[in-house]
Structure 1
Amino acid sequence: MRTMQFRTELNIPPAAAPISLGQGFLTLGSCFAEVIGQQLLQNKATVLVNPFGTVFNPLSCHAHLKRIITQDTKELEQGLVERQGQWFHYDFHSSFTASQPDVLLLYLEEAIKDAHNCLQHTQHLLLTWGTAFVYERQDTGHPVSNCHKVPQKQFTKRLLTVPEIQEDLEDTLNLLQTHFPGIHVILTVSPVRHLKDTLPLNSVSKSTLRVAAHFMQEQNKGVSYFPAYELLLDDLRDYRFYSADLLHPSEMAETYIWQKFVATYLDAEFQQFIQEWQQVKQDLNHRPFAPASPSHQIFLQKLEAKLHHLSLRIDVTQELAQVRGQLTSR
């Protein structure tokens, strides 16, 4: 008798060039770029996560990448906006703010410089598109990443087309390869739903992004597509895998998608390290009833030895300090 199937599991072929532990990452885009980036950080990868904050539309993502590559800040001042005595920038997250415009510009220039320095040691870029809808300033026609609660009448909302997304990314990739040849781009479409656009228009938006991503993957050897969107909507396909807002993936879903990412892109040694590190993290989080007891002190000594061994591959300075601070003989 044939076994009944109650879900359609998405099996993803492994990447042609698996990623090793020592290789660097840069993530840019929607909150899904944040999720994967934080998972990489927690597993000791070298990664810079969304250095300018969450970005949802492709044009703003690409503009950030171009700015990181070239460090061009000549037109940065044009995006400044003041609200209730604080200054913000239309291209950056609201966490980038200052009471004076000159101070904010220095803050932004430093963030761009830091991201550029990171890119010099990066082999992989995770680029996540969230929506094909873009808000453009009526005074300049420039698309913004963040409206900063400025009245909506000052913007025009429109749906990007597949050709303009492709053309803009193609220009960005050409610039990237000119300055940083060999960087591999992992392109994803965020599975987070944008109900403010309505469900029908959210489907139109995601479809636009998915078609553009398909063509970019087909036409560029240095681009691969990771199906985060399909994993949630077609593989898991159930509201129990959403958080309480019914928009974002639940923690369980995020873990599942992360495991698929690991199996797809990370090499065997990196995957083995993640298993070892998860055990070490459990040991670090252990809270004993009797910290000074001989048995716990022996436990700490063994944990210190594990960390010392791992220090040959990763930075465990903070973890070693944590353990050594609990050893009564130190």
Structure 2
Amino acid sequence: MQFHTEISPEPLPHRIGLKSRIVTIGSCFAEVMGRRLTDHKLAVLDNPFGTVFNPTSIAKLLTAALYGGAPDETLYVERNGVWFHYDFHSSLWANSRNELHDKLTERLAQTGDAIRQADFLFLTLGSAIVYRHIETGKVVANCHKMPGQLFEKYLYQIDHLRDDLTRSLKTLRRINPQLKILLTVSPVRHIRDTLPLNQVSKSLLRALAHELTVWNDWVSYFPAYELMVDDLRDYRFYEADLIHPNAQAHDYIFAKLAESAFDTDLQDFIKEWAQVRKSLFHRPLYGDSPAHHQFLRKLFAQLQGLSERVDVSAELAEVHRRLNWEENTESQDTDREEETKEFV
């Protein structure tokens, strides 16, 4: 008897390897998956513009990054002494306009360089609903808690979304012919837009993603949205807000991604690294002991064995620090015991 409809994504035509270079851009789900990839030792530039929901803003930022453009000069905004930019997430801020300009220009250049060298670009589309800044007439990525009367909210037509993304994909292909695109639709529901309108929005994005994969053999789709709303169709897989997937859901979706998108070598490494990470988080129940010292030395040797394949310098330094601290503690305890014996 089955108690849920399990989705098994088809193997993607272009497999991700341990040495693949990846850039993630889009909604908060892109950032979540980017962190998972980073945690598993892949080379990832994770959501460099911060959370960006709508395809039009994503396309604008990609174009600026690839052509060495500067942030849109008309979209800086100051709120309570802090400067933001309407094209970027509020995590990118500064205390002056010039400081923010320099920060955003550097971020665009960094992203452009990363995409030119990348093997994969993960694009996560969050919403087809956009906010237009009335004064400039431009669609923005973030309203930065400015008054609502400054913006016009509406559902973007699929033709406009298609045109914006198609132009961006052509630019990406021209600048990096080896780049593969992995499209996803964010499973996070935008209830502020009302649930009926959210469904319309997600439907537009899903239809658009399908079209782009049909037209371009280097563009693939991973069903993160379907996994969340159909396979994990239960509120126990959501955070307390009942909107965002929780850690258990992220684990499940990432496992499905690994099964569908990772090559055999990377899948084997993921399993091996999971055990190593578990050991890294281990803390002894009974303090210092010869057994725990032996455990740390074995872990250190494991990490040294992996160092030829991935960068584990931070983990090696941490285990080395623990070994030195515990051996020094043991030495100090021995010294104190000898002092006590001499005193007695």
Residue 164 of structure 1 aligns to a residue in which SS? Answer: helix
Partner of 1:147: 143
- Once the 2 structures are TM-superposed, how far is the Cα of residue 215 of structure 1 from its aligned partner? 0.8
- Once the 2 structures are TM-superposed, how far is the Cα of residue 188 of structure 1 from its aligned partner? 0.7
Rounded Cα–Cα distance in structure 1 between residues aligned with 2:196 and 2:91: 32
- Once the 2 structures are TM-superposed, how far is the Cα of residue 17 of structure 1 from its aligned partner? 2.3
Partner of 2:335: none
User: Does residue 132 in structure 1 map to residue 128 in structure 2?
Assistant: yes
- Once the 2 structures are TM-superposed, how far is the Cα of residue 291 of structure 1 from its aligned partner? 4.9
2:319 to 316, 319, 323: 323
Which deviates more, 90-99 or 193-202? 90-99
Partner of 2:56: 59
Partner of 1:210: 206
Conserved in 2, the CA contact under 8 Å of 1:290 and 1:296?
no
CA RMSD of aligned residues (A): 1.3
Could you list the per-position Cα deviations for residues 125-170 of structure 1 after superposition, in whole angstroms to 9, with x for gaps in the alignment?
1101111100011112111011011111111111111121111111
Conserved in 1, the CA contact under 8 Å of 2:74 and 2:136?
no
Which residue identity lines up with residue 110 of structure 2 in the other structure? Answer: D
Runs of 5+ in structure 2 lacking a partner? 329-344
Q: Which runs of 4+ in 1 moved over 2 A?
A: 289-293
Partner of 2:119: 123
Structure 1 residues 307 and 205, CA gap change in structure 2 (3 angstroms): same
- Once the 2 structures are TM-superposed, how far is the Cα of residue 281 of structure 1 from its aligned partner? 0.8
Rounded Cα–Cα distance in structure 2 between residues aligned with 1:223 and 1:255: 24
> TM-score normalised to the size of structure 2?
0.92
Q: Which has the higher helix share?
A: 2
Partner of 1:165: 161
Rounded Cα–Cα distance in structure 1 between residues aligned with 2:164 and 2:251: 32
Partner of 1:104: 100
Rounded Cα–Cα distance in structure 1 between residues aligned with 2:294 and 2:2: 49
Partner of 1:235: 231
Rounded Cα–Cα distance in structure 2 between residues aligned with 1:40 and 1:137: 35
Conserved in 2, the CA contact under 8 Å of 1:291 and 1:297?
no
- Once the 2 structures are TM-superposed, how far is the Cα of residue 266 of structure 1 from its aligned partner? 0.3
Conserved in 1, the CA contact under 8 Å of 2:117 and 2:176?
no
User: Does residue 14 in structure 1 map to residue 11 in structure 2?
Assistant: yes
Which residue identity lines up with residue 278 of structure 1 in the other structure? Answer: A
Which residue identity lines up with residue 49 of structure 1 in the other structure? Answer: D
Partner of 2:283: 287
User: Does residue 25 in structure 1 map to residue 22 in structure 2?
Assistant: yes
Runs of 5+ in structure 1 lacking a partner? none
Conserved in 2, the CA contact under 8 Å of 1:57 and 1:133?
yes
Conserved in 1, the CA contact under 8 Å of 2:84 and 2:94?
yes
Percent identity, please: 47
Residue 217 of structure 2 aligns to a residue in which SS? Answer: coil
- Once the 2 structures are TM-superposed, how far is the Cα of residue 120 of structure 1 from its aligned partner? 2.9
Residue 117 of structure 2 aligns to a residue in which SS? Answer: coil
Which residue identity lines up with residue 316 of structure 2 in the other structure? Answer: L
- Once the 2 structures are TM-superposed, how far is the Cα of residue 289 of structure 1 from its aligned partner? 3.9
Which residue identity lines up with residue 50 of structure 1 in the other structure? Answer: N
Structure 1 residues 290 and 120, CA gap change in structure 2 (3 angstroms): farther
Q: Highest CA radius of gyration, 1 or 2?
A: 2
Partner of 2:39: 42
Conserved in 2, the CA contact under 8 Å of 1:163 and 1:212?
no
Could you list the per-position Cα deviations for residues 38-77 of structure 1 after superposition, in whole angstroms to 9, with x for gaps in the alignment?
100110000011101001111111112112211211x532
> TM-score normalised to the size of structure 1?
0.96
Partner of 1:246: 242
